[in-house]
Amino acid sequence: MEFEWGLITLPENAVIVLEEALGCTNVTYALQLASGAAEQGKRVTYITPHYRDDVRIQMDLYRIRHFDRFAITECARTADAITTSCTGDFCVIDQFASFCPDTDLTRLKATLCALLDASRSGKTILLTMTTGILSNRHEQLIRSLADGIIQFLEVNEGGKIKRQINVPKMKGEIPPERTVLFSITEEGILIDTRERHG
């Protein structure tokens, strides 16, 4: 897996899950990737249950650039909204689990398959997911059908937070042997690409 400007280069035509137990790191990372895609000329759609102004505040907090090609679909609250609104070359579905908390496995699978089909027509689709909202079986179904998983982990060591990224699966890539350290600053998420020995 390559690192480019501190960001993982994601495969195209894929559905990637950015998961985290609690917090907004996965959302910040998705915004950073989406802004980068817009800067490269891709049409970006960001589908969120939140208000557009709240998304813009989050972007401003981490100095994530705004582009005309970055469309925000605000206050989306149903699973149907995500499949119909996922237009453009690069689509982010913010807080995916919140769209289907009471959905049975069959409907969840149908939604995921629709997103996979859409991704094969030239889209990269990111799903941010806070773990624990859905049942274990629902989360495992999402992980098994997704083309890639990026997990944001936090460990408290001696009163300090140690942040890591784990990539257990990614389309076209061999899973890395180690987690990658990262930090969060006003510049966004900075991935530590230094080689570790020992």
Name the token pair of 139.
Answer: 């989360």
pLDDT classification of 83: cutoffs 50, 70, 90: confident
The yes-or-no verdict on residue 121 having pLDDT over 80 is: yes
Name the token pair of 82.
Answer: 């995500």
Give the C-alpha separation, 129 to 138, whole Å. 12
Q: Which of 122-126, 141-145, 183-187 has the lowest mean pLDDT?
A: 183-187
- Crossing angle of helices 105-119 and 136-145, rounded to 10°: 20
Residue 40, pLDDT score: 92
Residue 185, pLDDT score: 84
- CA-based end-to-end distance of the chain: 21
* H/E element, 17: strand 14-20
User: What is the pLDDT averaged over residues 100-120?
Assistant: 93
The yes-or-no verdict on residue 3 having pLDDT over 70 is: no
The top-scoring range by mean pLDDT among 10-14, 111-115, 159-163 is 111-115
Give the C-alpha separation, 12 to 46, whole Å. 17
Domains of the chain listed by start with CATH number = 3-191 (3.40.50.300)
Q: What percent of the chain has pLDDT over 70?
A: 92
The yes-or-no verdict on residue 196 having pLDDT over 60 is: no
Give the C-alpha separation, 182 to 154, whole Å. 10
pLDDT classification of 195: cutoffs 50, 70, 90: low
Residue 1, pLDDT score: 37
pTM value surpassing 0.85: yes
User: What is the pLDDT averaged over residues 114-121?
Assistant: 94
* H/E element, 105: helix 105-119
